[in-house]
Structure 1
Amino acid sequence: MRIDAHHHFWHLAARAGHWPPATLGPIYRDFGPADFEPLLEQCGIDGTVLVQSLPDSQDTGFLLELAERHSFIRGVVGWADLKAPHAPQTIDALARHPKLKALRPMLQDLADDNWIDGPALRPAITAMLANDLAFDALVVPRQLPGLVAFARRYPGLRIVIDHAAKPLIAIRQLEPWRSAMNDLAKLENVHCKLSGLWTEAPPETDFAAFEPYVETLFRLFGTHRLLWGSDWPVQRLATHFGGYAGWLAACEKYCDQYARNEDKDAVFGGNAYRFYRLEE
């Protein structure tokens, strides 16, 4: 089973004042299942994980409603205010939906790099563990030390790093990103998504610029803890490198290059199926 472990849907009418801005023409419109299903059929993708893109409970409700109506959506990563006094009750209620598989605070937008590591989160994380929910970590490189501390604090929590923590490919900076990712990869509860890399570099970037980052991910996480995702429709911002099919083909080539004798199918479905506890 092939799984796209990371994509989005949105209605602009519900996003007033939020990203994306009108200047991002390729993604400044509504995106829904009718736009996406032809790509899945073309590329032989059997199911997907739909991920929140607003820190808003109504957005999570919208995604869960879509998941009820479209069987290809195997799981939803939602949002909840994890530091709210009522967070455990909110999480318990969300977890009653069979397709709610994980929660994602939008950490990359927070000024406090250590927001994630502190006792204020404990009631919410306890509720997530009790409901067998995973944690999507949307972080940037400066936030990785805080994520390391958080992951050590909760070794029983399944954590996946979205978009490989958005390394600074545009300026070809490997450190301290690589060292922090090495620390995270030593923790067995931490996984990583092979997604979102093309949109971290300008159009003039050559393909060789991506290779040190991809090689690092395969070396650190292996094929047993990497999950392939498209990050569609955000991926449309990088069509100068290739569309949906192009990103999939590039990642298949990376897998051939860096994981010659390992279980490549796991990267493109098996790991997502296991990590998110997806249903057939």
Structure 2
Amino acid sequence: MTFSSARPSRRDFLVTGAAAAAVATTGLAADVGAQSDTDPGWIDAHVHVWTPDVAKYPISPRFKVADMQPASFTPDQLLDQCKPVGVRRIVLIQMSFYEFDHRYMLHAMRTHPGAFSGVALIDFRDKHLVDRIDELQKQGVRGFRIPTDGKTDRWVDDPGMAKLWQTAAVRGLAICPLINPQDISSVDALCERYPETTVVIDHFARVGVSGTIESVPLANLCQLARHPNTHVKTSAFYALGMKTPPYDDLKPMIRKVYDSFGPERLMWASDCPYQVDAPHTYQASIALVRDRIGFLSDSDKQWMLRGTAEKVFFA
């Protein structure tokens, strides 16, 4: 099977900010700490896990062990971050180190039943594409990630991409594009052509990764809201805008996508382990949505912190 042309560069996407600011933990935050055993808890819609045991779970030859930073981020290490703030379910996103070998992600899902859903990497040019989709769906995968390959202008007319989007619609699975702002128009065209397909845009389509929340790309992202099955992850705060906790500079962008999509099509996600690279913290990520945005009602927070991801990845 082939893979996207350029090797994904998480190191390029991971950037550090200034010293961490204090994060308010009032109101709804206090309720989180008091959740009962019957409370469904929050959902983190985007996390990567990997193991240093490369003998049992080898990484792709296109990567080196030194590329795995941090060296280890296992499900147990992840849950140590999630549990203190009331996150009880997580959507695992296949890590590029493993490319199309999903054994480690699927192992994590099997050994923590009910805690994890999964989004797989998929080669849309695989001649056995539909069989592969069905195989992964049977093992709990609920979506397929498409990394940008520098050729997104060709996606609309690619027969493999057509089969992927059509099959996902029939199977009730999500397409999850990891794209840059210049790729939004290509995804827009695909959403137009395949309106029944559930789509989840990762990380605001990376609007703001340059350090500035550019108005035109943000407007283009918001234009996707006219497709009723398209959603956006409000995520990867560590990498956008000023890249500094408590991320208050991202509030205007969140307001724009909120006004366009509504809370029912937005989902919060951390993008761990990158979100816990100092000075960034897991607490700071969830606190932005949970505590610091005045225009969000309690109902809005329920959707963004649980309801939307539950609907797409756990229902």
Q: Partner of 1:31: helix, strand, or coil? A: coil
* Match status 1:228 vs 2:268: yes
Residues 289 and 301 in structure 2, CA contact (< 8 A), matched pair in contact too: no
The CA deviation at 1:258 is 2.6
Residues 89 and 114 in structure 2, CA contact (< 8 A), matched pair in contact too: yes
Are the structure 2 counterparts of residues 260 and 34 from structure 1 closer, same or farther at C-alpha, using a change threshold of 3 Å? closer
- Distance in 2, matches of 1:221 and 1:69, equals 35
* Match status 1:182 vs 2:222: yes
Task: Report the counterpart of residue 127 of structure 1 in structure 2.
Answer: 167
Residues 46 and 271 in structure 2, CA contact (< 8 A), matched pair in contact too: yes
TM-score (norm. length: structure 1): 0.86
Task: Report the counterpart of residue 80 of structure 2 in structure 1.
Answer: 38
* Match status 1:251 vs 2:293: no
| Residue of 193, 218, 228 corresponding to 2:233 | 193
Are the structure 2 counterparts of residues 17 and 126 from structure 1 closer, same or farther at C-alpha, using a change threshold of 3 Å? same
Task: Report the counterpart of residue 305 of structure 2 in structure 1.
Answer: 268
The one-letter code matched in structure 2 to 1:118 is: D
The one-letter code matched in structure 2 to 1:259 is: L
- Amino-acid identity (%): 21
Are the structure 2 counterparts of residues 231 and 19 from structure 1 closer, same or farther at C-alpha, using a change threshold of 3 Å? farther
Greater RCO (Cα-Cα under 8 Å, separation 6 or more): 2
After TM superposition, list the pairs within 5 Å mapping 1:63-102 onto structure 2: 63-71=105-113, 73-97=115-139, 99-102=140-143
- Distance in 1, matches of 2:137 and 2:66, equals 32
Are the structure 2 counterparts of residues 199 and 68 from structure 1 closer, same or farther at C-alpha, using a change threshold of 3 Å? same
* Match status 1:153 vs 2:193: yes
Deviations 1:157-182 (A, max 9, x none): 11011111111254424232122112
The CA deviation at 1:198 is 2.1
Q: Partner of 1:156: helix, strand, or coil? A: coil
TM-score (norm. length: structure 2): 0.77
- Distance in 1, matches of 2:156 and 2:300, equals 34
Instruction: Say how many residue pairs are matched.
Output: 268
The one-letter code matched in structure 1 to 2:91 is: V
Task: Report the counterpart of residue 114 of structure 1 in structure 2.
Answer: 153
Gaps of 5+ in 1: none
Gaps of 5+ in 2: 1-39
Residues 142 and 173 in structure 2, CA contact (< 8 A), matched pair in contact too: yes
- Distance in 1, matches of 2:299 and 2:75, equals 33
- Distance in 2, matches of 1:137 and 1:68, equals 25
Deviations 1:19-71 (A, max 9, x none): 8965x9xx33121012111222201112111011227221x232112100112
- Distance in 1, matches of 2:298 and 2:114, equals 30
